[in-house]
Structure 1
Amino acid sequence: MPISPSSAAQAAREGVAQRLRELRAEAGITGTELADRCGWTHSKTSRIENARTPPSPDDIRRWCEVCDAVGQAPDIIAQSHNAEAMYVEWRRRLRTGLKQLQNSYVPLFQSTQLFRVYSATLVPGLLQTEGYATGLMTAITDFREIPNDVAEAVTARLERSRILHEQGRRFVLVVEESALYHQVADAEAMAAQLGYLLTAGALPAVSLGVIPKATPSRPIWPMETFHMYDDAFVSVELLSARITVTQPSDIALYVNAFEQLRSLAVYGVGARALIVKAIDALS
């Protein structure tokens, strides 16, 4: 996992390092003493404590044993595993094109009952039309210089979006008003996309909220796009990676943020008025 001090993934790795460092300090032993008792070099201890080298499960078990904290090993091992699994590089996910990425989400979608999505910049994938998705994926393909399978990827995305009509699921989607104006496709495709939002927002299982640009003194700022799948985990989209958040405390943070963002949005007639305004702006 590449070191990225600004990422939640690196912060998670540093959290593991801090716990191990605290165990050593509480045991009253130096880094050199711990290394000797564990049977490795002092530099390895330093790399682990500074989050430069992720500890293996066996490393963590030895560390906890030396620090007389064997009972904490399983929890720290789980925390370390989550930290290393959290950061998925887009260039690895996309090296064969976009279709594979679209299909990879199908099992997750099938196992989720409550979808919560916040987007400040784009129409959420679940609500994208063919023209809009084609424009967006073409731009992504060109920017990343990856194999062009846009047509197949768009078909896969539209197929996946049929889940909106399946019983037993709920979709709560919140977008910033500015997302309605970012033209990732031509005017005709944008008009079709915005028109579809008027229809999709009326589906029984869908709650579509739009946060007006003119919202005064908002208590929470526009932030990165994120998707919540039940209460299992959160997917955060960055330019270079998709970060998966699995720690309960971090998920709770996103739940709190989503609820605050949701409370700022307008729905029904109010949302429709903002969407119609964006359609009128196309001309």
Structure 2
Amino acid sequence: LGNIRECDAIIHVIRCFDDDNVVREGGAPVDPIADKEIIDTELQLKDLETIEGQMVKQEKMAAAGNKDAKVMVNVLRAYKEVLDKGMNARAVTFDDKEEQQAAHDLFLLTTKPVLYVCNVDETSAKEGNQYSRLIEEIAKQEGAEAMVIAAKTEEDIASLDTYEDKKLFLDELGLEESGVNRLIKKAYNLLNLQTFITAGEMEVKAWTFHKGWKAPQCAGVIHTDFEKGFIRAEVIKYDDYMKYKTEAAVRDAGLLHIEGKEYVVQDGDIMHFRFNV
């Protein structure tokens, strides 16, 4: 659980398939809700342990007049109330900025955004099944994300050597893309992440950034000097590049944009940063 505390989000894989060769503990029938609740309970108990460990200390400090401690006590009590009811801490929201910061500083496990991945059989890889629909409904109630993936199918896809073979296999299953690709997209969305691209003669590379970041911040992802000495960014939209095929053709079409410090970088932008340190 210590490793989970350092993560920004949780991907919770849940069994949603029948298979007599894969037996649950005690020979019990497949029960995705019970499996989910077991993990939830473990995380909730760990969060309660964290809160109770902080409560006495913070209450003493608050009684002595410490303003930050008073804020923290309010946050701890709000979290404890929902956790005692068997709910996840993410059910609590705070409008006050000081309370939001205090809540963040606790690093509770059940405040982290979660993506439920329903592991189904191959025949259910496209639309899911009765098990996955139960989890999807619970996810809606929690304000969480859920998706369907067939792990065995993904193993088969990974074993194929060429893109053409993989595409043919997906077509036979009625799938547009692999579950791994969909999982990556869901995870990026969950974490509010996007990608920009840099391209040169020697290398093309994708860089991850937080949605809403401006050009200098994205330049800093490559190197802090790029952000400090940022002058401008030359930007090509991904769709324009795919249409015209080369940077020169995009430039000739008048679609290479020069952007300054206030430009909000968009997903898929192809960037060339100008800087001076």
* The two structures share one fold, judged by TM-score above 0.5: no
Query: Could you state the TM-score of these two structures normalised by the residue count of structure 2?
Result: 0.24
Rg comparison, structure with higher value: 2
Which of structures 1 and 2 has the larger relative contact order (alpha carbons within 8 angstroms, sep 6+)? 1
Query: Structure 1 or 2: larger strand share?
Result: 2
Query: Could you state the TM-score of these two structures normalised by the residue count of structure 1?
Result: 0.24
